[in-house]
Amino acid sequence: MTRLLAACVGLFAGLHAATWGMYKDAPHEGFSWRTFVRSPLIGLALGLVLQPITRLDPRRAADLVVLFGVVYVVERALAEVYKTFIREEDQSKYFIPMQFHVLGRVVRSRTVRWAAGALYSAGLLAIISAAALGRGRAGAHGFALVLLVGSVGGWVSALGGAWKDAPLEGFQTLKFFRSPALAALFAAGLASLSGDLLLTALAATGYTVATTETYKTYFFPSRPRGKFAGMPVRFPGMLHERRRFVPLYLAIWCGLLAAAIGAIRG
C-alpha cells in the first residue's frame, strides 16, 4: 500500500505540472498526449524511487504533503535540465530561447551545452549535499535557519530565471525576489509537518514552483508567457479545449489542501 500510494502521489504531482504546462503552451505549440503524459510518468517513477530514499510514508497525511513537494521539485529540475541543456529544438518559435543561452544568444555547441548542464547539475547536487550535512528535525532548528535553508531553492530558481529572461525582457525586482520569499514561507509551514530540514526545503521549493505557475497561468490566462511574447497563437482552438483540464488541476489542489488540513489536525 505504501508503494502504491507513493506512485499515486508522484503521478498526481506530474499531472499537476503537465496541466499548467499544457495550458500555457498548447495555444502556441498544439497539444500532444505524448508530451502531456511525460511528466505524470516521470512523477510516478520518482514517487516509487524517492519514497524509500526519503522514508516518507504517504499513508500519513503530513508525509504525503511533503512527498508531493519533493517529487514536484525533482521532476521540474529534471525537466529544466533536459530542456535547457540537452534537448535539440528549433528556437525560432520562442521570444525567449528555452535552450541554454548567453545574453539571448543560443549556445549552438552541444558539447558546451552539455558541459554547462553538467556543471549546473553538479552545483545543484552540491547545494543539496551541503544541506544534507545539517540534516535534522526541522522543528528543532531555529525559525531563522528554517527560513534561510527553505529559501535556497527559491534563490536557485530566481537566479536561473533572471539568467534566462532578463536579457530579453529586463530585470524585474519583484519577480526576482518572489520565489525566495515564497519558498521561505512554505518552509516555515512545512517545518511543522516534516522531520527533516532538507526535505522541508525541497518540498518548499516544489510548492513554490506549483504556486507561481498557478498564479501566472490561471490568473492571467490571456497573457502569453514571456517565451511566447509577441508570437502568434497558432492553435486558437486550444484556448477553449485547454479548459477541460482545469477541473483535474483544481481537484489536485483540493486534495493537497485536504491532506494538509488533516496533517495539521492530526
pTM of the model: 0.91
pLDDT tens string 40-57: 999 999 999 999 999 999
Is residue 117 scored above 80 in pLDDT?
yes
d(CA 205, CA 180): 9
What is the mean pLDDT of the segment spanning 145-172? 85
pLDDT tens string 62-80: 999 999 999 999 999 999 9
Mean of the per-residue pLDDT values for the chain?
89
Q: Which cell numbers in the block locate residue 107?
A: 549556445
- The CA-atom distances, in angstroms, between 213 and each of 31, 183, 197, 219 are 19, 14, 24, 10
The reported pLDDT for the residue numbered 166 is: 80
Q: Name the nearest CA neighbour of 46 among 74, 69, 65, 21.
A: 74
Count CB-CB contacts under 10 A for residue 122: 10
**Cell 554547462 belongs to residue:** 116
Cα dihedral angle (244, 250, 255, 258), rounded to 10 degrees? -150
Is residue 139 scored above 70 in pLDDT?
no
Q: Would you kindly state where each structural domain of the chain is located, as residue ranges? A: 2-265
Is residue 119 scored above 60 in pLDDT?
yes
